[in-house]
């Protein structure tokens, strides 16, 4: 009985992650909420960049600047506000409740889970696809 229950939990978690990480939705969310600062191509050259205290990061080079490993935890924490940036003027997300709730767990390279919201997971999934 324990094995059946564990198998059901595993299947449910795999299904949730697969459904939640929608790269097309992530791209759409990025274009709506992030491109103004980070640019349409995520190159850090958005139209609001010059007005910020700190220049936006080139989001296509996150993996290259982290020894070839996509910095999943750091990216999630920046987007969801657990690791705030001064240049945003307030903790991220500046769009409030939209990025909160509807939590899912994403697995890090070390095998540990990190909880985040579905919209953040979608944006992160898309960001992973555009790494140089």
Distances (CA, A) of 38 to 24, 109, 115, 126: 18, 26, 24, 14
- pLDDT over 90 at 10, yes or no: no
Give the predicted TM-score (pTM) of the model: 0.78
Of the given ranges (4-13, 87-96, 105-114), which has the lowest mean pLDDT? 4-13
Q: What is the total count of domains within the chain?
A: 1
Q: Binning pLDDT at 50, 70 and 90, where does residue 55 land? A: confident
- pLDDT over 90 at 86, yes or no: no
Cα separation, 15 vs 10, whole angstroms: 9
Q: Which residue bears the tokens 């992650």?
A: 17
- The H or E element containing residue 104 is strand 103-107
| Percentage above 70 pLDDT, the chain | 74
For the chain, the distance separating the N- and C-terminal CA atoms, rounded to the nearest angstrom, is 46
Q: What is the domain range of residue 68?
A: 2-129
- pLDDT over 90 at 113, yes or no: yes
- pLDDT over 70 at 18, yes or no: no
| Percentage above 90 pLDDT, the chain | 55
Compute the mean pLDDT over every residue in the chain, rounded to the nearest whole number: 81
């Amino acid at each position: 009985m324990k094995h059946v229950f564990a198998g059901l939990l595993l299947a449910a978690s795999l299904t949730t992650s697969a459904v939640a990480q929608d790269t097309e939705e992530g791209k759409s969310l990025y274009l709506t909420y992030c491109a103004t600062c980070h640019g349409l191509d995520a190159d850090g050259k958005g139209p609001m960049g010059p007005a910020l205290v700190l220049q936006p990061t080139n989001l296509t080079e996150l993996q290259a600047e982290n020894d070839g490993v996509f910095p999943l935890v750091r990216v999630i924490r920046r987007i969801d506000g657990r690791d705030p940036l001064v240049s945003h003027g307030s903790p991220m997300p500046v769009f409030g409740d939209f990025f909160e709730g509807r939590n899912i767990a994403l697995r890090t390279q070390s095998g540990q889970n990190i909880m985040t919201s579905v919209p953040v997971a979608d944006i992160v999934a898309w960001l992973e696809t555009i790494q140089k």
